[in-house]
């Protein structure tokens, strides 16, 4: 979609930050992506830097997003009512730089220690804070806390407007189908069928019939991933209200593991469709594979063919007929 992006691989080999934006939007905004250190003493440097940024961006919309590694209120920690010194320091810094939380929807807690029983800890460590100019320009904006999936942190999305996206799924043969229990039986059933006409035409008809039956094999990894994500979302929503429930926690851990394995199958699924060399390290990016598939499809077709007389055939009908004649002669000679 001609969007721009930048990332921090030059500064960090593991590179965990990617910023993507639509350059057609003419509104200038400043966005700070925050990772607060676990040590409260080290975080004081962050609070001082926020004051510098606040003075610099005072006349522009400015928003801070992500992990501050500290809560603002006692109710942002499950089963706790303690007011700690790091909490007070954080609130004092937020007031000094004149920032405020965006309206929040979704889950109450954004992080958990992925343990069960009495050792379970759930907190709101991730948030989005805006200055006065942000609320002036985007007063209807809000931040949504999504289900964490297989991570210990929940992703945040700042909503400005709703967009509807549709994605088409053209037929492709998947290598996953070859491992299905019914695959070889389907091949045998279709290959014993007989059709009138040249051998090549018979093969084409068998493949066409076979393709129709392949579409019903329930081995699409993206569908399995979607189902697992839905189940994990329901469990995590229940945990949001009962973070101490050991049974719910065990179910969440099991679904996390299943989703992690199936997500790798999903990535391999899109990698096969795009036929590209994916990064050896990094996070999954199926949208990248979707774009690569479409580019490859535009190139993966025959535009012309040389016949036996040395003439170029350029129309689709001539090329198709030449292919049929070639394979028909090939099978008849054998």
d(CA 253, CA 259): 10
Confidence of residue 276 (pLDDT cuts 50, 70, 90): very low
Residue 317 in any domain: the answer is no
Residue 253 in any domain: the answer is yes
Q: Determine what percent of the chain is predicted with pLDDT higher than 70.
A: 76
Average pLDDT, the chain: 79
Whether residue 202 is found in the same domain as residue 263: yes
- Better-predicted residue by pLDDT, 133 or 181: 133
d(CA 77, CA 124): 7
State pLDDT tens for residues 87-109. Answer: 888 888 888 888 889 888 899 99
State pLDDT tens for residues 193-210. Answer: 888 888 888 888 888 888
Number of independent structural domains in the chain: 2
Whether residue 183 is found in the same domain as residue 52: no
Residue 126 in any domain: the answer is yes
Asked if 105 and 145 count as a contact pair (C-beta separation under 8 A), the reply is yes
Boundary-marking domain end, from 137, 160, 183 = 160
* Residue 48 clears pLDDT 90, i.e. is over it: no
Whether residue 122 is found in the same domain as residue 255: no
Asked if 251 and 264 count as a contact pair (C-beta separation under 8 A), the reply is no
Boundary-marking domain end, from 160, 191, 213 = 160
Whether residue 52 is found in the same domain as residue 124: yes
- Per the structure block, which two tokens stand in for 242? 């009962």
Confidence (pLDDT) at 297? 46
Considering only 133-137, 190-194, 219-223, which range has the smallest mean pLDDT? 219-223
Q: Determine what percent of the chain is predicted with pLDDT higher than 90.
A: 19
- Per the structure block, which two tokens stand in for 69? 């590694």
State pLDDT tens for residues 234-247. Answer: 999 999 988 888 99
Residue 286 in any domain: the answer is no
d(CA 107, CA 5): 28
Residue 300 in any domain: the answer is no
Residue 308 in any domain: the answer is no
Whether residue 185 is found in the same domain as residue 154: no
Which of 10, 8, 6 is CA-nearest to residue 21?
A: 6
The helix/strand/coil state of 147 is coil
| Chain centre to alpha carbon of residue 248 | 25
Whether residue 8 is found in the same domain as residue 152: yes
Residue 140 in any domain: the answer is yes
Confidence (pLDDT) at 41? 84
Whether residue 191 is found in the same domain as residue 131: no
Which of 80, 146, 77, 151 is CA-nearest to residue 114?
A: 151
Confidence (pLDDT) at 232? 93
Q: How many Cβ atoms are within 10 Å of 34's Cβ, its own excluded?
A: 17
Confidence of residue 225 (pLDDT cuts 50, 70, 90): confident
Confidence of residue 324 (pLDDT cuts 50, 70, 90): low
Considering only 12-21, 52-61, 131-140, 291-300, which range has the smallest mean pLDDT? 291-300
Boundary-marking domain end, from 281, 299, 322 = 281
Whether residue 148 is found in the same domain as residue 238: no
Whether residue 41 is found in the same domain as residue 152: yes
- Better-predicted residue by pLDDT, 314 or 232: 232
Which of 160, 153, 148 is CA-nearest to residue 22?
A: 160
- Look at the pTM and tell me if it is higher than 0.85: no
Residue ranges making up the domain that contains 251: 175-281
- Better-predicted residue by pLDDT, 148 or 80: 148
Whether residue 10 is found in the same domain as residue 149: yes
Confidence of residue 293 (pLDDT cuts 50, 70, 90): low
Residue 78 in any domain: the answer is yes
Q: Any idea what the CATH number is for the domain that residue 94 is in?
A: 3.60.10.10
d(CA 263, CA 279): 16
Whether residue 36 is found in the same domain as residue 94: yes
* Residue 269 clears pLDDT 60, i.e. is over it: yes
Whether residue 179 is found in the same domain as residue 105: no
Confidence of residue 127 (pLDDT cuts 50, 70, 90): very high
Asked if 146 and 154 count as a contact pair (C-beta separation under 8 A), the reply is yes
Confidence of residue 321 (pLDDT cuts 50, 70, 90): low
């Amino acid at each position: 979609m001609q969007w721009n992006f930048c990332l921090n691989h030059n500064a960090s080999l593991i590179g965990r930050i990617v910023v993507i934006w639509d350059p057609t939007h003419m509104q200038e905004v400043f966005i700070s992506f925050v990772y607060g250190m676990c040590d409260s003493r080290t975080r004081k440097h962050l609070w001082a830097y926020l004051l510098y940024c606040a003075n610099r961006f005072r006349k522009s919309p400015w928003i801070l997003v992500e992990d501050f590694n500290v809560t603002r209120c006692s109710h942002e920690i499950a089963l706790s009512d303690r007011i700690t010194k790091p909490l007070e320091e954080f609130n004092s810094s937020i007031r000094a730089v004149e920032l405020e939380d965006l309206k929040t929807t979704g889950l109450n807690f954004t992080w958990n220690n992925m343990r069960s029983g009495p050792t379970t800890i759930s907190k709101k460590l991730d948030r989005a804070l805006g200055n006065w100019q942000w609320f002036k320009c985007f007063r209807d904006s809000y931040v949504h806390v999504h289900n964490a999936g297989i991570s210990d942190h929940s992703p945040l999305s700042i909503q400005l407007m709703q967009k509807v996206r549709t994605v088409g799924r053209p037929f492709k043969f998947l290598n996953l189908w070859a491992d299905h229990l019914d695959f070889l039986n389907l091949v045998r059933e279709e290959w014993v069928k007989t059709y009138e006409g040249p051998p090549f035409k018979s093969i084409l008809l068998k493949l066409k019939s076979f393709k129709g039956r392949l579409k019903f094999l329930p081995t699409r990894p993206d569908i399995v991933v979607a189902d697992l994500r839905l189940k994990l979302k329901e469990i995590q929503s229940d945990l949001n209200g009962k973070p101490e429930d050991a049974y719910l926690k065990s179910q969440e851990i099991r679904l996390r593991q299943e989703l992690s394995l199936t997500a790798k199958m999903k990535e391999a699924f899109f990698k096969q469709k795009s036929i590209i060399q994916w990064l050896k390290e990094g996070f999954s990016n199926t949208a990248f594979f979707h774009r690569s598939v479409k580019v490859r499809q535009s190139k993966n077709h025959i535009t012309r063919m040389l016949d036996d007389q040395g003439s170029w055939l350029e129309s689709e009908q001539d090329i198709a007929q030449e292919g049929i004649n070639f394979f028909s002669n090939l099978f008849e000679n054998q």
